[in-house]
């Protein structure tokens, strides 16, 4: 079976500008020969420390950075990131939610307008009555009642902003949602709600997830496959239970060991 | 170092905060960030204050140090080593800041002055106060860097903060905080911006600080951090303490429904469940919101009518006076049997 998304031997390096006119140009190898695969209906978690290249991987998949080597395949066909026409169709299918819930919304747009803008841009002109229905439905899906459509970001909590960002990303029913640290800035009680929401949306609409996170416990709860990155290289990938129960690489074992533990779960109440 | 002063404080307590209230005058009206907060700490003890954003935990620290923003006012009492800090003049406060109570801030990049070398950052506290000569301060800086596990301290002294990794910056910030040999360390979310492996190292270092006999007051939203480090925990919600307990008791038998829900909401590595995390419905309240009753009642699955009508006071749970005793502000505490004990 063809994977929904496949990254094949991708390498990305950034040019670091040295100080001074004649300073030697240096490079930062952000990704080195990384291959991952997300099946239809799969949820892949990508974990690693800062500088491991996990955000670069997300940006590569979205076409925000270009690979120096390697390719990204969508349903078996290489993605032509340089062809605007092809990309317009793909953007409906491939969407993203970022970390900062306030920063990713336009402060001058209400929640409804933000979702509506995404709908118009991705699905083309939609008759306004039908558009309104879809906006309200998209907000309802993420747990925001119709009253929220008229609110501005500053009138919303961090969790509500992130729900709007998710509604905006999912209004065109993408096949793959890229989440780059999408729950990292949220309070624990709200983080749990958003993790649950992503899980529900993913199940209900057969939407795959590429979930980038430094939080291993969140990944364990949400994803069925896990890839571990270290300094731009893929250290290990496999299904969730295998990675967490019997990690093969020393790096994964170290990462897991470093997570602060809560005392064993209490009984009852 | 302290100003002599007659005191009625229990000498064993390093820090005593009583009925602390913090409010801010804003364009949207008065914001009551902290209300009726009382805590006491001894030397060699680590107290964790746990709360989500807007719970008032950081403002509590800043109020203790006289560092509130200009539109903020504090009332109540904050005593450190018997000296009242609330309303104290700058001279008194400066005698306490750094040398009595040191602050380890959340974000090491913005707390380390970018255009100063690490040596200057480390030694300026001692030199400005005339506590050491330049040579002595330099020696102490080298030792302090060694204590926080930084290799080649000689070379580090010549570097700038932007040349260091995030974890190393936080260790330099810790070394800086400890330079003037404070008796109490305030750590405001010291591990939030760090990778897990670096976080583990910083927590080890903080445990070492506590074991050297300093008091450590750590502010965090991360219950994993609490479990590994703190002796006691105070849980804050909407500006108030809703539960205090020893760390062991808090995890074994949380009494406040908020504490229990918060514990349940943390994704773990050691449970079987995959899909649903038991989150808490709704959002933490905005600081501008006021509640006649319990602020958690709107999100609480056990709430009764009286919960929203009148605020439950903190009362003792467990055997009062015993080491394991705690307090909870709830009409229907979980583990009601333990909560049946009344304060003397």
Q: What is the ipTM of this complex?
A: 0.83
Total residues found in chain A within this entry: 269
Residue B137: both structure tokens together: 């301060």
pLDDT of residue A169: 95
Question: Does A16 touch chain B if contact means CB atoms closer than 8 Å?
Answer: no
Q: Which of B102, B124, B88, B100 is nearest to B2 (CA)?
A: B100
pLDDT of residue A17: 72
pLDDT of residue B4: 43
Give the C-alpha separation, B73 to A149, whole Å: 37
Is B199's CB within 8 Å of A187's CB? no
Work out the minimum CA distance from B124 to partner chain A, whole angstroms: 30
The residue written with tokens 């006649």 in the block is B292
Query: CB A41: neighbour CB atoms within 10 A?
Result: 15
User: How confident is the prediction along chain B (344 residues), in pLDDT tens digits per residue?
Assistant: 444 444 444 457 999 999 999 999 998 889 999 999 999 999 999 999 999 888 999 999 999 999 999 999 999 999 999 999 999 999 999 989 989 999 998 877 778 888 999 999 999 999 998 899 999 999 999 999 998 888 899 999 999 988 888 888 888 999 999 999 999 999 999 888 788 888 888 899 999 999 999 999 999 988 888 998 999 999 999 999 999 999 999 999 999 999 999 999 988 888 765 567 888 988 888 878 888 999 999 999 999 999 999 999 999 987 666 767 899 999 999 975 444 444 33
Could you give the C-alpha distances from B21 to B7, B18, B153, B222, in angstroms and in order?
A: 22, 9, 43, 24
* Partner residue facing A49 (CB), from B197, B221, B223: B197
Work out the minimum CA distance from A199 to partner chain B, whole angstroms: 7
Q: For A195, name the nearest residue in chain B, comparing CA atoms only.
A: B277
What is the sign, positive or negative, of the torsion defined by CA atoms of A17, A20, A22, A23? negative
Burial of A82 (0-12, 13-18, 19+ CB in 10 A): exposed
Q: For B251, name the nearest residue in chain A, comparing CA atoms only.
A: A263
pLDDT of residue B195: 82
Best probe of the B interface among A163, A189, A243, by most B CBs < 10 A, is A189
In B, which residues are within 8 Å of A187 by CB distance? Answer: 52-53, 221, 284
In A, which residues are within 8 Å of B196 by CB distance? Answer: 49, 214, 216, 255, 258-260
In A, which residues are within 8 Å of B280 by CB distance? Answer: 189-190, 192-193
In B, which residues are within 8 Å of A195 by CB distance? Answer: 267, 277, 279
Give the C-alpha separation, B142 to A215, whole Å: 34
Q: For A144, name the nearest residue in chain B, comparing CA atoms only.
A: B282
Work out the minimum CA distance from A45 to partner chain B, whole angstroms: 13
Is A188's CB within 8 Å of B221's CB? yes
Three-class secondary structure of residue B5 per DSSP: coil
Question: Does A191 touch chain B if contact means CB atoms closer than 8 Å?
Answer: yes
What is the sign, positive or negative, of the torsion defined by CA atoms of B155, B156, B162, B168? positive
Interface A-B: count of C-beta contacts within 8 A: 126
Q: Which domains does chain A have, with CATH numbers?
A: 5-100+176-258 (3.40.50.300)
Write the DSSP string, A157-200: -HHHHHHHHHHHHHTT--SEEEEESTTTTS-HHHHHHHHHHHHH
Is B267's CB within 8 Å of A217's CB? yes
In A, which residues are within 8 Å of B275 by CB distance? Answer: 196, 199, 221
Cβ atoms B307, B221 nearer than 8 A: no
Residues B49-77 as b/e (b if ≥16 CB within 10 A, e otherwise) read bbbbbbbbbbbbbbbbbbebeeebebebb
Question: Does A242 touch chain B if contact means CB atoms closer than 8 Å?
Answer: no
Best probe of the B interface among A182, A217, A262, by most B CBs < 10 A, is A262
* Partner residue facing B279 (CB), from A192, A214, A218: A192
Q: What DSSP element (H or E) covers A37? A: strand A26-38
Is A187's CB within 8 Å of B269's CB? no
Work out the minimum CA distance from B82 to partner chain A, whole angstroms: 36
Best probe of the B interface among A188, A198, A230, by most B CBs < 10 A, is A188
pLDDT of residue A75: 95
pTM summary value: 0.87
Question: Does A128 touch chain B if contact means CB atoms closer than 8 Å?
Answer: no
- Residues B282, B68, B87: CA angle, nearest 5 degrees: 130
Question: Does A192 touch chain B if contact means CB atoms closer than 8 Å?
Answer: yes
* Partner residue facing B199 (CB), from A195, A258, A266: A258
Work out the minimum CA distance from A8 to partner chain B, whole angstroms: 28
Residues of chain A with pLDDT under 70: 1, 18, 265-269
Cβ atoms B255, B333 nearer than 8 A: yes
Is A192's CB within 8 Å of B221's CB? no
Question: Does A260 touch chain B if contact means CB atoms closer than 8 Å?
Answer: yes
Is A260's CB within 8 Å of B276's CB? no
The residue written with tokens 């032509």 in the block is A80
E strand spans, B132-231: 184-188, 215-220
Q: For B197, name the nearest residue in chain A, comparing CA atoms only.
A: A258
pLDDT of residue B272: 67
Work out the minimum CA distance from B21 to partner chain A, whole angstroms: 24
Residue B53: both structure tokens together: 């954003």
């Amino acid at each position: 079976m063809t994977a929904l998304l496949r990254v094949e031997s991708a390498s990305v390096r950034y040019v670091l500008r040295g100080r001074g006119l004649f300073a030697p140009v240096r490079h930062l190898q952000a990704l080195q020969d990384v291959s991952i695969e997300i099946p239809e209906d799969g949820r892949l978690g990508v974990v690693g420390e800062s500088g491991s290249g996990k955000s670069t991987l997300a940006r590569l998949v979205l076409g925000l950075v270009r690979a120096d080597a390697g390719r990204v395949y969508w349903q078996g066909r290489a993605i032509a990131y340089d062809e605007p026409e092809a990309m317009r169709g793909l953007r409906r299918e491939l969407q993203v939610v970022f970390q900062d819930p306030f920063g990713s919304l336009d402060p001058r747009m209400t929640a409804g307008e933000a979702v509506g803008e995404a709908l118009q841009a991705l699905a083309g002109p939609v008759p306004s009555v039908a558009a309104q229905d879809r906006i309200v439905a998209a907000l309802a899906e993420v747990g925001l009642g119709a009253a929220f459509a008229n609110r501005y970001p500053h009138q919303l909590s961090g969790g509500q902003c992130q729900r709007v960002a998710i509604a905006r990303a999912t209004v065109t029913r993408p096949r793959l949602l890229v989440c780059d640290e999408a729950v990292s800035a949220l309070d624990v009680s709200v983080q749990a709600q958003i993790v649950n929401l992503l899980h529900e949306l993913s199940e209900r609409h057969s939407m795959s997830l590429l979930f980038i996170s430094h939080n291993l416990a969140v990944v364990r709860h949400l994803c069925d496959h896990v890839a571990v990155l270290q300094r731009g290289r893929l250290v290990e990938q496999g299904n969730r239970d295998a990675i967490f129960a019997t990690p093969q690489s020393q790096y994964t074992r170290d990462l897991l060991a470093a997570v602060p533990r809560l005392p064993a779960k209490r009984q009852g109440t | 170092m302290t100003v002599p002063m007659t005191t009625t404080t229990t000498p064993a307590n390093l820090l005593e905060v009583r009925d602390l209230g913090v409010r801010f005058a804003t364009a949207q009206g008065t914001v009551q960030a902290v209300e009726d907060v009382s805590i006491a700490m001894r030397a060699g003890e680590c107290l964790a204050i746990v709360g989500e954003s807007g719970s008032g935990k950081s403002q509590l620290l800043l109020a203790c140090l006289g560092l509130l923003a200009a539109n903020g006012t504090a009332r109540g009492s904050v005593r450190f080593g018997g000296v009242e800090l609330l309303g104290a003049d700058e001279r008194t406060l400066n005698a306490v800041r750094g040398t009595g109570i040191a602050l380890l801030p959340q974000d090491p990049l913005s707390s380390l002055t970018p255009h100063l070398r690490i040596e200057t950052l480390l030694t300026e506290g001692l030199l400005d106060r005339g506590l050491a000569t330049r040579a002595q301060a330099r020696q102490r800086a080298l030792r302090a860097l060694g204590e926080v596990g930084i290799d080649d301290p000689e070379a580090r002294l010549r570097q700038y903060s932007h040349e260091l990794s995030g974890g190393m910056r936080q260790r330099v910030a810790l070394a800086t905080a400890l330079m003037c040999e404070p008796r109490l360390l305030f750590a405001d979310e010291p591990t939030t911006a760090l990778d897990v492996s670096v976080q583990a190292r910083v927590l080890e270092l903080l445990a070492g600080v506590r074991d050297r006999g300093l008091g450590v007051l750590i502010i965090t939203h991360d219950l994993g951090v609490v479990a590994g480090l703190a002796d006691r925990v105070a849980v804050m919600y909407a500006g108030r303490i809703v539960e205090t307990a020893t760390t062991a008791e808090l995890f074994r038998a949380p009494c406040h429904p908020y504490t229990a829900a918060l514990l349940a909401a943390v994704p773990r590595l050691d449970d079987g469940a995959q899909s649903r995390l038991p989150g808490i419905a709704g959002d933490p309240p905005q600081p501008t919101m006021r509640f006649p009753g319990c602020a958690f009642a709107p999100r609480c699955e056990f709430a009764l009518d009286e919960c929203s009508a009148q605020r439950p006071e903190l009362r003792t749970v467990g055997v009062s006076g015993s080491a394991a005793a705690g307090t909870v502000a709830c009409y229907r505490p979980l583990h009601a049997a333990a909560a049946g004990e009344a304060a003397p």
